[in-house]
Amino acid sequence: MLSETMLRMTKQRQTILEELRSVTSHPTADDMYEMVRQRLPRISLGTVYRNLEILAAEGVVKKIDAGGSKKRFDGNAETHYHLRCLQCGKVEDLAIPLVSGVEEKAASLSGYSVVAHSLVISGVCPDCQKNNKKAS
């Protein structure tokens, strides 16, 4: 994994990173494209996708597979947990301490060389719960 300082920071890549780190909504690549276009109107969707993948591969950002159809991205590359709404698809950070020893336990039980873990808890967000009650 390269550090952010070793990764060549093109203007496009830097803008994508700044925009991603300015939000906590865990946007999709399509969402990021719309955000970045405000600053770089000529940027292509392919450039946004490619640079998000590079930033994720280098560990500068996290790519979240939260069970939805589209991958989401997180500007916070530190290990932390997420909540995903099963109705609207929203993904949020879950501010609880990391489960200690889970990687070691997984390695000892499986024989894998475990390097990381992630946790996504699925449920229905408060907004969708309110909307469901209104519709009833």
The percentage of residues in the chain with a pLDDT greater than 70, rounded to a whole number, is 93
How far apart are alpha carbons 73 and 21 in whole angstroms?
10
pLDDT digits (tens, 9 = 90+) for 26-37: 999 999 999 999
pTM, 2 dp: 0.81
- Tokens (6 digits) for 42: 């000529």
pLDDT digits (tens, 9 = 90+) for 41-62: 999 999 999 999 999 999 999 9
Whether 43 and 12 have beta carbons less than 8 Å apart is answered as yes
pLDDT digits (tens, 9 = 90+) for 100-133: 899 999 999 999 999 888 889 999 999 999 998 8
Write down all domains in the chain, each with its CATH number in brackets. 1-75 (1.10.10.10), 79-136 (3.30.1490.190)
